Copies of this chain bind each other. A is one copy, B any other.
Amino acid sequence: MRIEIINTGSELLLGTTLNTHGAWMGLELLDLGMRVERQVTVPDGDAIISALEEAMGRSDAVIVTGGIGPTSDDISREAAAQVLGVDLIYDEAALRSLEAFFEALGKPMAEANKKQALNPVGADILPNPHGTAPGIYAPPRMSGDRLCALFLLPGPPSEMKPMFRAEVLPRLRSLGGVEGDYQMELLRFTGIGESDFHAQIDVELEKINDLEVGYCARPSEVDLRLIGSQSAISQGKEIALASFSEECFSIDGEDLEAVVVRLLTEQGKKLALAESCTGGRIASRVTDVSGSSAVFTHGFTTYADEAKISMLDIPSELLKSHGAVSEEVALAMAEGALIKSGADIAASVTGIAGPTGGTDDKPVGTVWIAIATTEKSFAVQRCYKRGRELFKQMTSQTALNLLRKSLS
């Protein structure tokens, strides 16, 4: 079943409002095994007409949001009648609902609202318990060489979402039914790039029947999306994990910080963090996880040398002889955090976020990351020369991944 979404609203194209309708509907439809094939955003006004013509000519169902309010730039209703080739007539029940809505508010109904009871001939009104604009459903009719159904929904999320669930999903289910039994699984990896997948397993994955493979690259992370039957997904998963089991931190979409908190919780261990260049980012990510207060106790954000000395007892000679960005200081920070907090495991980072502060020897992006437990300590060096924001994200990702590996 080919479903397209058209979102209307100039604010979405100006960028002053983020369009979240498409992603929300995508997830709702995925639960039913359906997918959105295309999403189009058009401004208020006439652009809806051509977008609607195009979409109805190639889809089985088109869902429009917005443009059914009372003002003059709300023309989705008129556009739908034009594209369907029918007239608009007043729906008596919808008119009575509108009057009841305003009566409940204790306000007189403006004349402009009356047009919201207009309905293309042959279409059904979809009740809107949360606002004045009723939705519209035009059952499948020939459009080009295919049958296409049309839904018009209000723009405000608080009105659109309940109507989508109550009125749209059941109709789509009965129209098209669920195609096959396909599902989606999301595997998340860190420490490798998208090209590593292509080089090592893409060819093998492509051999699996009816498996759709997709990648999404994020800073220091690649998500592998497998869509298909349960058996096709299992085969794909096996291939991916045979090559990259160590880099895979989640087989169910879980965030890296949530994995770390879960491992700590399972093992009854406490975590401490000593951060210089990430400035609290790692602690903030860990404390984004509900339940982290049971396992994370102390965070030492030692941005200045004097903070490293006073908060973590780093000897000033060590800072002088090796510099703050060094293996020795990273190890001393992690060990200091462990001792100062009484935690079971600690991570530390010290590096040069930039844009200034680099030297020939230690360029911008250089970072040392150390892990200390009561049994052993180790440190690794990385260089993330990708700007301040990405430097912090990638460094925190690597530190969390080292914690995950140490706890696994």
Interface residues of A in 1-59 (CB under 8 A from B): 9-20, 22-28, 30, 35-44, 47, 51, 54
Known: A70-B194, A130-B387, A297-B306. A39 touches B13 (CB 8 A): yes
Task: Choose among A27, A30, A104, A293 the residue with the greatest number of B CB atoms under 10 Å from its CB.
Answer: A293
A199 vs B41: C-alpha distance when bound (angstroms): 28
Of all chain B residues, which has the CB nearest A389? B288
Interface string of A132-170 (1 = CB under 8 A from B): 100000000000000000000001101000000000000
Residues of the B chain whose Cβ atoms lie less than 8 Å from the Cβ of A22 = 12-13, 15, 19, 41
Asked if A304 CB lies within 8 Å of chain B CBs, one says yes
Complex contact A14–B39 (CB within 8 A): no
B-contacting 9-mer, from A213-221, A228-236, A315-323: A213-221
If over half of A's interface residues share one DSSP class (helix, strand or loop), that class is named, otherwise mixed; here it is mixed
Complex contact A15–B26 (CB within 8 A): yes
Minimum CB–CB distance for A318 against chain B, Å: 18
Interface string of A61-80 (1 = CB under 8 A from B): 00000000111110000000
A217 vs B116: C-alpha distance when bound (angstroms): 15
Complex contact B44–A214 (CB within 8 A): yes
**Chain A, interface size: which category?**
35 or more
Residues of the B chain whose Cβ atoms lie less than 8 Å from the Cβ of A42 = 37-38
A340 vs B340: C-alpha distance when bound (angstroms): 15
Residues of the B chain whose Cβ atoms lie less than 8 Å from the Cβ of A41 = 22, 38-40
Add 5 more A-B contacts to A293-B357, A301-B301 (CB < 8 A): A13-B26, A14-B35, A38-B51, A281-B287, A288-B389
Spell out A's residues near B (CB within 8 Å). 9-20, 22-28, 30, 35-44, 47, 51, 54, 69-73, 104, 110-113, 130, 132, 155-156, 158, 184, 186, 194-199, 202, 206, 212-219, 223, 225, 273, 275, 277-284, 286-288, 290, 292-293, 296-304, 306-307, 310-311, 340-342, 353-357, 385-390, 392
